[in-house]
Amino acid sequence: MSRQLEGLKPERVFFYFEEISKIPRCSFHEEKISNYLKQFGEDQGLETLQDEALNIIIKKPGTKGYENSPTVVLQGHMDMVCEKEENSNHDFSKDPLKLIVEEDFIKADGTTLGGDNGIAVAMALALLESKDIPHPPLEVLITTNEESGMDGAKALDPKHIDGRILINIDSEEEGTILVSCAGGERSKVRIPIEWEAFKPLKDDLVYSIKTSGLQGGHSGMEIHKGRGNANKIIARILAFVKDECKIRLAHIEGGSKTNAIPMNGTAIIVLDKKDENIFLQAIEALDEGIKKELKSSDPKFELIAQKTEIKVERVLTEDSLNRMIAALTLIPTGVQSMSQDMEGLVESSNNLGIVRISDNEVTIESSIRSSKGTLKKSIGDQIKTVADIVKGQWETYGSYPAWEYNENSQIREIFKRVYKAKYGENIKVAAIHAGLECAIFAEKFSDMDMISFGPNMYGVHTPEEKLSILSTQRTYDLLLDVLKEIK
């Protein structure tokens, strides 16, 4: 069977990237990829551990001349965000990703690529397999469920890790090393609702309202780009249309991940035929206005309202509808504050990522991020206040701390020195608004010296995700040169 990535350099990195792309690995469903990695380590004759959280640790001794060098932990995560285009039939539970090479980029057909963080896994496997690459003792740590709460990192038993230098390969901008990151947590609001039976009359019309063409994106890396949030747009539409004519809501949903800016939102409504023109005029006005607002960030945005033959048997009571709209309107989303210490760095944000409706409640889930714990709490308090106003319940989960800057980092200085010698320019040292597992490890290992780096990736957490081939090669070469310096 032909390989889509055959001939790409570094050959063994892309060999393993293609291998793991065949294995389902959505967050919370990492059993198959974890077992693959365990089998790989054992087949290589290396000390291999699979813990209860399905984290994988593979240890390899240093090569000749590096036997007594400091141990380096190479770290990434095995799970991926599973998003697909609306018309895609891809089944993430069983289908391999369909890889496509377009010039300098690797993409997947209609789905996320999983470069975040499959490329870290692929680099680590290529190093573990190698016989001729000089390196200090290695501990490869591949964690689970990074994308939905960093559960693997949190569950890691520190006794399994000896190294005190950690290189996290989970960044997405070549030529930059990250030395600090924001903390975060997930927030959930549950709004109790009531339904009333619906018996359609001859003049009743059922319409679906959908967003289309939003780019979405990573809620940490791309929250500052002002991209449209499908959940907020649907709430805005319902609030506006409700003031123009009488509507009844039969269904609403939007988004699929708290840490991905939602691209798709849908509402099913019922209205009287006599109000149809008013309704369509309102939709047209909103479509035109939002297109102007998003012309730079989401130039393909479109608001679609269509008659549907969906059978409606129940609708929300007016009180339930009003409370739901109020919550979706009042819960903040997007950038909440910018850093006053580091130009261009988002300090705090919230992403209203998921809306779901069931028999008894509407649930609204968000991802809160901040480099300051007090601001993270403040955003949580805002959401809790909204929950109280709409007679809902509020809870948080998946909290993780910020990773603070280490003034005396040796691995940072090695990267700076090696990069300067290799490329004749200074590597960029930066902080990031997204969360990194380094923050968890900083709590578990107070003396761990860490940096994060990686190749150029774009459109992460969206079906537009792509990985640069040349950047991957340069990043891997840099990693090998850095390892060679740790003696």
- 3-class state of residue 124 by DSSP: helix
- Torsion sign (Cα): 195, 200, 204, 206: positive
State the Cα–Cα distance between residues 483 and 487, nearest whole angstrom. 8
Task: Find out whether 88 and 110 touch, Cβ atoms under 8 Å.
Answer: yes
Is residue 146 part of the annotated active site? The answer reads: yes
Catalytic residue among 79, 83, 185, 465: 79
- 3-class state of residue 478 by DSSP: helix
In the DSSP assignment, the letter for residue 403 is B
- Six-digit token pair at 446? 């107070």
- Six-digit token pair at 214? 């939003």
Is residue 341 part of the annotated active site? The answer reads: no
Task: Find out whether 181 and 376 touch, Cβ atoms under 8 Å.
Answer: no
State the Cα–Cα distance between residues 186 and 184, nearest whole angstrom. 7
Residue with tokens 């300098």: 104
Phi first, then psi, for residue 320 (nearest 5°) are -65, -40
Among 320, 374, 310, 311, smallest CA distance to 347 is for 374
Catalytic residue among 18, 146, 147, 253: 146
Dihedral-angle region of residue 337 (phi above 0 means left; psi in -120 to 50 means alpha; beta otherwise)? beta
Q: Which residues are catalytic?
A: 79, 146
